[in-house]
Amino acid sequence: MKKLLSNTKKAAVGIALCTTMLTSANAGLLVTDLGIQQPKILAGGNSGDQAPPVPAGDFTGVVSINIRYDADGDGARDSFICTGSVVSQRHVVTAAHCVDETGTGVVVDINNPMNDVRVIFNDGGDWATGSAADSLVTAASVAIHPDYEGFGICGPGDNPGFGSQCLNDDVAIIELPSDVPDGVEIYDFYRGVEPLGDDTILKLADGNTFFTMVGHGTGGNGIDGDSFSPDFFVKRFGFNIPELFECDDETSPVPGGFFSADDCANNYGNAVEVWRADFDGVDENGVLQDFFCDVVGVGCGNFFGQDFSDIFEGSIGGGDSGGPSFVFDVIADKWVLIANNTFGSGDGSFGSAFGGNFYAPYLSWINSFVANVPAPAGAIFALSGLWLLRRKAKAA
């Protein structure tokens, strides 16, 4: 979802950051005339709740992104916000639709003086370096994955998944003109994979793979839905488990609707590209909302509580687009990127659904920009909640 930010001004080192919301798959940041695209993290089941903010010092490599261009053809520059993840000293990965100028897979032309893409390094609600001078960086180049045709759009050789949409290939990479600020985390990718030509087959523990989602998007809860605006300086987190999967839309006759990430390799010999989860919880009438269980009979009872001191059910929203889903590398004692967060349905209340793209099938393309994205050799990845609890307690 894209979010256009305006009207709500926040003074920060002389730069006015506005927040105005547009409905779509991301959200955004505004500086004077800005409008941004970005998704959100929602959690909890009590009115007024929202997912807790990330404490200072954690997830410093999760950044907000400000995209500026004339989106509606009126000659004025609009500004949008999204989320991204640092993967090298010079590169940030995000969602393709965040930097799609036309909605048809055409990357925003940063050579146009009206356009730019800016990365905001932030930590604990402030600039990562204490000022905008080193924390607000304009991109040197931006690229969209070549198979991306536009949000939900199927190309001539693509086969649609659920909802007759193609949500695959929604991956982009931003190159910076200088190294990221000191102290900013640089993330490795989860690779529990087997080689498959130019792609990779992802190996997951189905039904037991906990995603930790982080983003700068709107906040909210399962009762009220999306009720808090996105913020360039506040990132939130939440947890969920992927329950439905979609395969490579170029090489799968029926790419969507699989209950296991292994089904793509077993049925078609190709890679799983899209993950989906639902936002389960008890609504204001005391009724359990478990969308995938009710509709397709998967993930029944597979939901977390609403206690923020424990693992809690989470979803994404406007402004979280392009943001990361992590799993935890036990040996290296660090978070690694497994996927991005790119789409959702409903108003963000219990019973809504959302998802994104796994990074594994796109690593060869990402590596064509990042010469050496280090792979954690011999890593053991925690796919259960116990390690997430341990890590969460450690960060508290």
* Dist. CA 324–CA 185, nearest whole Å: 13
* Dist. CA 226–CA 50, nearest whole Å: 9
Whether residue 43 contacts residue 80, with contact meaning beta carbons closer than 8 Å, is answered with no
193 or 297, greater pLDDT: 297
* pLDDT score at 273: 94
- The pLDDT confidence band at residue 19, using thresholds 50, 70 and 90, is very low
* pLDDT score at 213: 94
* pLDDT score at 18: 23
Q: What is the DSSP string of 53-80?
A: BPPTTSSTTEEEEEEEE-SSSSSS-EEE
* pLDDT score at 40: 44
Q: What is the pTM of this model?
A: 0.82
Instruction: Tell me 391's DSSP state.
Output: H
Average pLDDT for the chain: 77
The residue extents of the domains of the chain are 3-395
201 or 216, greater pLDDT: 216
Domain 3-395 top-level CATH class: mainly beta
- The pLDDT confidence band at residue 396, using thresholds 50, 70 and 90, is very low
> Would you state the torsion angle of the CA atoms of residues 330, 336, 340, 341, taken in this order, to the nearest 10 degrees?
50
* Dist. CA 108–CA 103, nearest whole Å: 10
Task: Please compute the mean of the pLDDT values over residues 154-181 and round it to a whole number.
Answer: 89
Alpha helices in the chain (DSSP H): 132-135, 263-268, 291-296, 363-367, 385-395
174-210 pLDDT, tens per residue?
999 999 999 999 999 987 655 444 455 555 544 567 8
- How many angstroms separate the Cα of 381 from the Cα of each of 332, 333, 370? 9, 10, 23
